[in-house]
Amino acid sequence: MTITSPPAASAGRGSPPRRRSSRGLVGWGFIGPFLAVFALVFLAPIGYSVYLSLFQDRLIGGNTFVGLDHYQQAFQDPEFWSGFGRVALFLAVQVPVMLGIALLAALALDSGRLYGKSFFRITVFLPYAVPAVVATLMWEFLYGSRFGLVGDINRAFGVSLPDPLSPGLVLASIGNIVTWEFVGYNMLIFYSALRVVPRSLYEAAEIDGAGQWRVITAVKLPAIRGALVIATVFSIIGSFQLFNEPAILKVPAPNAITTFYTPNYYTYTLSFSGRQQNYAATVAIVMGVITMVIAYAFQLRGMRKEA
């Protein structure tokens, strides 16, 4: 007697591939809109910038291919490297100060010993809700030596305070504005990470006789190392993208802030004032690559320590 498989069984063998295929189409349907928008607003501008950097629009000859000439010019441009050195100094000083203040505020909130914790949290975070342009304008009036708070103090007490918008102090003044804006943002990152640390770790540390400082250094900080790395990477990227504050303070401090004060401001000036869109695209690409390399290197180092 010959036994044959029922038709339903053979059909059943063929159905799983069709189900997998339909699931794949559904998945692509979900991520398709995101990929389209991502390609339109991210990949396409980068590709067009690379295209611009390889050409030069000349009065005679039109749009001419120049290859890597613009990149060679960028690496030999003293104004570009002057702006880069300025934001590197800004990064080395301002970011540790800002993250340190944010970490202290987060630890104070997490300690449970702070009176009016909710009010304190809202107060510290509130400056982040102020747009960067508005915040810079506010501090511009405070810094003014003729019409602002500094000028009023000088006239009221007969003193001569240093001008915050002078060439020697304007970078520190910008750092103060950025710190005021983003301390609350980073505080929430750290505080959220502290809230998910298991309380059993604190109890074990107390049983071992650890004090508050020992709990912070041995339990809390290692537990939120991932949040510290992420906040630092964001701050590195933000420092190299410094633009709003110098661009706005350029009006009251024209002698202190040059057209190449930061790489981003230099790129803006080249493109919209100097009509050098091709070279501006090159500077932007070089700065983007440098930022990516530095941020990624720091992230790798932080992940190794965490591991």
Q: Is 30 exposed, middle or buried (0-12, 13-18, 19+ CB in 10 A)?
A: exposed
166-211 per-position pLDDT tens digit? 999 999 999 999 999 999 999 999 999 999 988 888 888 888 887 8
Q: What pLDDT, on a 0 to 100 scale, did the predictor assign at position 11?
A: 47
* H/E segment holding residue 94: helix 78-110
Average pLDDT rounded to a whole number, residues 103-125: 88
DSSP state of 43: I
Residue 17 has pLDDT above 60, yes or no: no
At 271, the amino acid letter reads S
At 181, the amino acid letter reads E
Q: What's the CATH architecture for 71-306?
A: Orthogonal Bundle (1.10)
Give me the chain's average pLDDT, please.
88
Q: Which residues contact 5 (CB under 8 A, 6 or more apart)?
A: none
Residue 23 has pLDDT above 80, yes or no: no
Q: How far apart are CA 282 and CA 54, in angstroms?
A: 8
Q: How far apart are CA 266 and CA 65, in angstroms?
A: 23
Q: What pLDDT, on a 0 to 100 scale, did the predictor assign at position 186?
A: 96
Q: What pLDDT, on a 0 to 100 scale, did the predictor assign at position 151?
A: 87
Residue 6 has pLDDT above 90, yes or no: no
Task: Work out the percent of the chain whose per-residue pLDDT is above 90.
Answer: 61
Q: What pLDDT, on a 0 to 100 scale, did the predictor assign at position 292?
A: 94
Query: Would you kindly state where each structural domain of the chain is located, as residue ranges?
Result: 16-65, 71-306
Query: What's the whole-model pTM score?
Result: 0.85
Taking phi over 0 as left and psi of -120 to 50 as alpha, with beta for the rest, 55 belongs to beta
